[in-house]
């Protein structure tokens, strides 16, 4: 056992140094602030594994497994970029325009102010009600898009991850 470890040491050292180099940029930028940093680490691991399995995998379904990992990487890219808002609000902004933000003093409160959003296409009280309804619908759609990506990512991983090396 001892002699096997000594024999394997040069290979282990080479792999370890290679891993330090591959992971350094990701770890350097890692913070404990929010979920995107976890996504970035998971994305990097899946990307490296996908490349390895695609090029060096010897099991029967290595290309199919690499393709599934690639899908997970794409989903993680979308979650990291967090463009669900832009996708969900595209038609909302086309209809109502982009909001103008104004802070107004709260009556009777010297230290408080309230954020008021106004949209160029709102002309009547009926427009205001319809705008609020459309805004809620766009928010719900944004949540749906994000949840769909999360569900697809983690259901794919849950279903296939243990067989990606067989």
Residue 157 lies in a domain: yes
Residue 1 has pLDDT above 80, yes or no: no
Residue 166 has pLDDT above 70, yes or no: no
pTM comes to: 0.81
- Residue 42 structural domain: 31-163
Condensed to tens digits (0 to 9), the pLDDT of residues 71-120 reads: 999 999 999 999 999 999 999 999 999 999 999 888 888 889 999 889 99
Residue 137 lies in a domain: yes
For the chain, how are helix, strand and coil distributed in percent, rounded to 5?
75, 5, 20
Residue 17 lies in a domain: no
Residue 4 lies in a domain: no
> What is the per-residue DSSP string for 22-91?
HHHHHHHT--SSSHHHHHHHHHHHHHHHHHHHHHH--STTHHHHHHHHHHHHHHHHHHHHT-HHHHHHHH
Q: Which phi and psi angles does 31 have, rounded to 5°?
A: -140, 165
The number of domains in the chain is: 1
Residue 2 has pLDDT above 70, yes or no: no
Residue 58 has pLDDT above 90, yes or no: no
Condensed to tens digits (0 to 9), the pLDDT of residues 124-138 reads: 999 999 999 999 999
97 to each of 64, 120, 153, how far by Cα in Å?
44, 6, 33
Residue 22 lies in a domain: no
Residue 7 has pLDDT above 80, yes or no: no
Residue 12 lies in a domain: no
């Amino acid at each position: 056992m001892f002699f096997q470890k000594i024999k394997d040491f040069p290979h282990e050292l080479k792999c370890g140094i290679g891993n330090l180099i591959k992971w350094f940029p990701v770890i350097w930028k890692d913070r404990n602030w929010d979920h995107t940093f976890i996504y970035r680490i998971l994305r990097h691991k899946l990307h490296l594994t996908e490349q390895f399995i695609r090029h060096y995998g010897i099991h029967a379904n290595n290309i199919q497994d690499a393709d599934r990992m690639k899908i997970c990487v794409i989903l993680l890219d979308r979650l990291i970029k967090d463009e669900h808002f832009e996708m969900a609000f595209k038609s909302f902004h086309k209809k109502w325009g982009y909001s103008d933000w104004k802070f107004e003093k709260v009556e009777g409160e010297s230290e408080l102010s309230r954020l008021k959003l106004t949209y160029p296409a709102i002309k009547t009280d009926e427009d205001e009600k319809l705008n609020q309804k459309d805004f809620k619908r766009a928010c719900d759609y944004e949540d749906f898009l994000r949840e769909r990506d999360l569900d697809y990512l983690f259901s794919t991983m849950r279903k296939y991850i243990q067989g990606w090396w067989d």
